[in-house]
Structure 1
Amino acid sequence: MATTQAGSQRRPRLAHECAAGEIFGRAPIYDAIFSCISPRTLVRTGRSCRAAYAAYRDFSHRAYNIHRHLSRFLSEPLDFRSLQARTGTLIAGSNALQFLDRTFYPKSDMDLYVHPGHVREVFDYLVEREGYKFKPDSTQPKDYRKIVSDDWDGTQIRDEPLAHDELLLYYQIRGVESVFSIEKHGPDGLLKIQLIACETSPFDAIINFHSTCVMNFIAFDAAYSLYPVGTFEKRDTLSVWRARPLHDLAVVIKYGERGFAWISTLPASTSPQSSPFHPFTDRTVGDRYTWRLPLDTHGVALRSQMNPSSSIFQCDPVIYNGWALERVQYGMGTVYKTIKSSVFRYNYTTTNYKLNFKLWLFAIEQGFLSRILMERKLLDKEGWPWFDAELASSWETFKHDFLSFIRRDST
């Protein structure tokens, strides 16, 4: 029996270890295997042994290459991700689904969801840096600069938006203010990007998509799936009731052809534990039910300080959002309370009334002080302080308290 340099005996390799080494030591073999299994099975396989883990890491690095994924639409993916980092822009819809599912839908476009106040910056980047051209619909002027202003006033009091019946009839997404189409010709044909200007936030629009299989999105630092088990394991998509019922079957047919079974609602006997859609449960982005896929951020330029009066805030604001899936009039729907205040640069959502009340009190006090300073000419719009970093601190405290409660309740 062979011995090591220290003289100790080396354990002989077992037959199954030899077989694993043969399979997971050759990229063509494990690529063929990994390309046919679901994300959860991929992760579990990688945990089976050292050889499988090394193969899993190598395959994932290539399969979830965000720059390669973006290169179909963007010539400079790294610069675009830096734009995402400073604007909080999210890639959602079928594009994010394709990335996480490691698949490709021919002739599909890219949907970008943009926060209020950043639409002009994102639009200019895509037109001036990436060579896209605005393709207005019958209601829009030929020059997008006439309808997309670069003068956004974040100091204004943010009232709840009025019901936009005509808008909902056209876009069928709650939380959408405007949709702009841009196009250019690429090596493989026409490329189309839809730039969605959101009323409150990208998350508010995404959580009101037609069904759960498209509740996925890509931020500058990570990709997220809110319902990964239902989407990638069960291949089911649960219909989410919006402002009006879905009358046409185009969406149902499209995602049926893509391999997803449409579920109109959940049975009355459904419990949070028995369903991959986790109904009647307070959720947060990045919770234990979320699939978060970290992305390599090497070379991505993070957001600079918004102004000298504001705390440094460099994470993507999407992680400070919460929601729940509850029964509504026509089936299942997403419910939450919107956090909207001029003391925060961005708008957020939560199901926690304690957190919402705490932030409401903070916003009233801080907003009052800031407006007094503006009236006395001691503060201008450029120096208006935003406290998103302080919201982040409150959110982390809420999540810690909530998780502690869940652990106590389960013991």
Structure 2
Amino acid sequence: RRWFSDVLEFRRVLRRSGAVISGSFALQYFDRSFYAESDMDMFVRIGGVGPLCEFIRSQGYASVGHSHDYDECVAEGGAHIIKAALNITSFEDPLLGVYTFQKFVVWASGRVDILQVQVVVVDTEPIEHILFDFHSKDEEAERGVYGPPMLGVGFEVLMRDNLAVKNDSYLRIAEPFMWRTVGEFRKSLGLSRCK
């Protein structure tokens, strides 16, 4: 409720747009902490940009940090649309655009906060961009492991096939936390999902 007054609608918009929340905001959720200066980063493919940004603006946020207002940007074929149409992104650099929104909030205590939301438009699956590009320090070894205590929806291991480690060191580390190991490392691009 700190960021959006209509939390259920926010969840619906996330689901409909295919957006994924990441950055320090996601860390707050997982470690149950609060970072006062944290912004919210949402990653979305081009098809979900409109509904997501419309919802953000309906919650009192204003577009900041770029030369065009969001409405003008969409009406005139914004940078993310042009980059997608010209097909000038790549697997290694799928970033199409970033939209920044801010809102001033005055709390009962008198404290004033500036809440900032960034919508990051990518030309690949948002979770893939987050795991392997946005947060990765060492792409060769980067892996995301999510377990039932965190997500409550079963165990998943996501890995970028073409970056898979040539030996079994990753599996030796991850196996104690897995229910089972399925499949093998292949050389194709994309994500593998093991359950």
For normalisation by structure 2, the TM-score amounts to 0.65
State yes or no: 1:119 paired with 2:45.
no
C-alpha separation between the residues in 2 aligned to 1:146 and 1:73?
A: 25
Report the CA distance shift for 1:203/1:160 in structure 2 as closer, same or farther (over 3 A).
farther
Which residue matches 1:77?
7
Write the mapping of 1:23-38 to structure 2, written as runs, cut at 5 A: none
How far does residue 97 in structure 1 lie from its aligned partner after superposition?
A: 1.0
C-alpha separation between the residues in 1 aligned to 2:54 and 2:120?
A: 14
State yes or no: 1:174 paired with 2:30.
no
How far does residue 240 in structure 1 lie from its aligned partner after superposition?
A: 2.4
Q: Contact 1:92/1:113 (CA < 8 Å) preserved in 2?
A: yes
RMSD (CA atoms): 3.7
Which residue matches 1:194?
118
Write the mapping of 1:81-160 to structure 2, written as runs, cut at 5 A: 81-128=11-58, 130-137=59-66, 140-141=67-68, 143-148=69-74
> Partner amino acid for 1:148?
V
> Partner amino acid for 1:290?
Y
Write the mapping of 1:204-283 to structure 2, written as runs, cut at 5 A: 204-209=128-133, 211=135, 239-241=137-139
For the residue of structure 2 that corresponds to 1:184, the secondary structure is strand
Q: Which has the higher contact order (CA 8 A, sep 6+)?
A: 2
How far does residue 146 in structure 1 lie from its aligned partner after superposition?
A: 2.5
State yes or no: 1:350 paired with 2:186.
no
Which structure has the highest strand share of the two? 2
For the residue of structure 1 that corresponds to 2:98, the secondary structure is strand
State yes or no: 1:184 paired with 2:103.
yes
Q: Contact 1:183/1:191 (CA < 8 Å) preserved in 2?
A: yes
How far does residue 81 in structure 1 lie from its aligned partner after superposition?
A: 0.2
C-alpha separation between the residues in 1 aligned to 2:85 and 2:62?
A: 33
C-alpha separation between the residues in 2 aligned to 1:240 and 1:106?
A: 28
How far does residue 209 in structure 1 lie from its aligned partner after superposition?
A: 3.6
Report the CA distance shift for 1:177/1:104 in structure 2 as closer, same or farther (over 3 A).
same
> Partner amino acid for 1:195?
V
Identity %: 23
> Partner amino acid for 2:191?
T
Q: Which runs of 4+ in 1 moved over 4 A?
A: 158-161, 319-322, 324-327, 335-338
Q: Contact 2:89/2:95 (CA < 8 Å) preserved in 1?
A: no
How far does residue 201 in structure 1 lie from its aligned partner after superposition?
A: 2.2
How far does residue 136 in structure 1 lie from its aligned partner after superposition?
A: 3.1
How far does residue 159 in structure 1 lie from its aligned partner after superposition?
A: 9.5
Q: Contact 1:132/1:183 (CA < 8 Å) preserved in 2?
A: yes
C-alpha separation between the residues in 2 aligned to 1:94 and 1:337?
A: 31
Q: Contact 2:16/2:48 (CA < 8 Å) preserved in 1?
A: no
C-alpha separation between the residues in 2 aligned to 1:210 and 1:103?
A: 21
Q: Contact 1:120/1:149 (CA < 8 Å) preserved in 2?
A: no
